[in-house]
Chains A and B, each alone.
Chain A
């Protein structure tokens, strides 16, 4: 899922300073699962905004709405109506959700309440870790299901590099060496033959080097 975390409250409050009627818009997708922007977080942020404004002795009308997904136009259709006379939408979705909401609700500014951080997993409740960088050319079949792009700090295709020490990456002793993980996994699978094959250099044109990406599937239109 996409992992996000709430922006510093101070930043959100500053951006909302000119407004007195705000719609806090949550998303029931990834940000609900990673507890960054679902209905519960919408309620907490909305209440915090009311408290902060009341602390100044100033009024604010905060409405709450959480839609199924902000990255899908059909769920955004009712938002403009439900926003009523709100002056601004504070979106708690990922960057994709914020942008589609802005595209669909043209009459209102849409501000982000979270920072979209990575594509990752929940290692346990409250702990999230990066696993994928959406490079567009999945290499997991050759690396025992551990991604050299996302898990190696240098994203090298044939590792480990000289910075790997006792299974840790040179950037931090808290970061496992991605290539050590790959080797350990291939050994456990009895597939070190895969490690012996030299991987080709990565073609980054399928990643961000190729500009904004788009997929069109005509059979779904």
Chain B
């Protein structure tokens, strides 16, 4: 099929989008991502019954936090695609890339470019 999508996209595999959690999504932005797509199976076709439905709710919550932290909720989107929708996958990636390009780099990248931001230490111990 030789479909093209932007080369700046990194793919992280999960067994199911039900594995997505809010903190991990937020950490991708802390690590410098300008935008994140969560791509789950079509709704109603989850192998684990409700994984993609749960992911949808977690993505919605994460978008709210991204707005509250002024990173921009629009930088995170969820798509539902089946494994046979390669064409739609390429379109979705292009669509997301266009959105992020229009928004510009993440505010964190802007500060990093100026050498101002000092990323904080990793989380401490728990319990």
A residues neighboring B (CB under 8 Å): 9-10, 28, 39-40, 42-44, 46-48, 50-68, 82
In chain B, positions 49-77 with a C-beta closer than 8 Å to chain A are 65-66, 68-71
**Chain B residues positioned under 8 Å from A50 (CB to CB):** 30, 119-120
Check A63–B124 contact: CB distance below 8 A.
yes
In the assembled complex, how far is the CB of residue A95 from the closest CB belonging to chain B, in whole angstroms? 23
**Chain A residues positioned under 8 Å from B66 (CB to CB):** 51
In chain B, positions 79-121 with a C-beta closer than 8 Å to chain A are 107-108, 110-111, 114, 116-121
Nearest chain-A residue to B118 (Cβ)? A59
- 7 additional A-B pairs beyond A9-B69, A44-B23, A47-B26, beta carbons within 8 Å, are A28-B127, A39-B127, A51-B26, A51-B66, A54-B119, A55-B108, A57-B117
In the assembled complex, how far is the CB of residue B109 from the closest CB belonging to chain A, in whole angstroms? 10
Nearest chain-A residue to B124 (Cβ)? A63
Complex Cα distance, B68 from A82, in Å, reads: 29
**Chain A residues positioned under 8 Å from B29 (CB to CB):** 51
Nearest chain-B residue to A51 (Cβ)? B69
**Chain B residues positioned under 8 Å from A47 (CB to CB):** 23, 26-27, 30
In the complex, which of the residues A40, A57, A61, A82 has the most CB atoms of chain B within 10 Å of its own CB atom? A57
In the assembled complex, how far is the CB of residue A42 from the closest CB belonging to chain B, in whole angstroms? 8
The prevalent SS among residues of B at the interface is loop
**Chain A residues positioned under 8 Å from B118 (CB to CB):** 59
Check A65–B116 contact: CB distance below 8 A.
no
Complex Cα distance, B123 from A67, in Å, reads: 15
In the assembled complex, how far is the CB of residue B63 from the closest CB belonging to chain A, in whole angstroms? 12
Complex Cα distance, B27 from A39, in Å, reads: 16
Between A and B, 14 residue pairs with Cβ closer than 8 Å are A9-B68, A9-B69, A10-B68, A44-B26, A47-B26, A48-B65, A51-B65, A51-B66, A54-B111, A55-B107, A57-B114, A58-B117, A63-B123, A67-B127
Complex Cα distance, B32 from A117, in Å, reads: 37
Nearest chain-B residue to A66 (Cβ)? B126
B78 at the interface (CB under 8 A from A): no
B16 at the interface (CB under 8 A from A): no
Choice from A28, A40, A54 contacting B30 with Cβ under 8 Å: A54
Complex Cα distance, B123 from A62, in Å, reads: 7
B residues neighboring A (CB under 8 Å): 21-23, 26-27, 29-30, 65-66, 68-71, 107-108, 110-111, 114, 116-121, 123-127
Check A61–B123 contact: CB distance below 8 A.
no
In the assembled complex, how far is the CB of residue A88 from the closest CB belonging to chain B, in whole angstroms? 15
Nearest chain-A residue to B72 (Cβ)? A55
**Chain B residues positioned under 8 Å from A66 (CB to CB):** 126-127
Check A64–B123 contact: CB distance below 8 A.
yes
Complex Cα distance, B120 from A60, in Å, reads: 6
In the assembled complex, how far is the CB of residue B55 from the closest CB belonging to chain A, in whole angstroms? 15
In the complex, which of the residues B111, B116, B126 has the most CB atoms of chain A within 10 Å of its own CB atom? B126
Check B23–A54 contact: CB distance below 8 A.
no
Check A62–B120 contact: CB distance below 8 A.
yes
Complex Cα distance, B29 from A56, in Å, reads: 14
In the complex, which of the residues B27, B65, B69, B125 has the most CB atoms of chain A within 10 Å of its own CB atom? B69
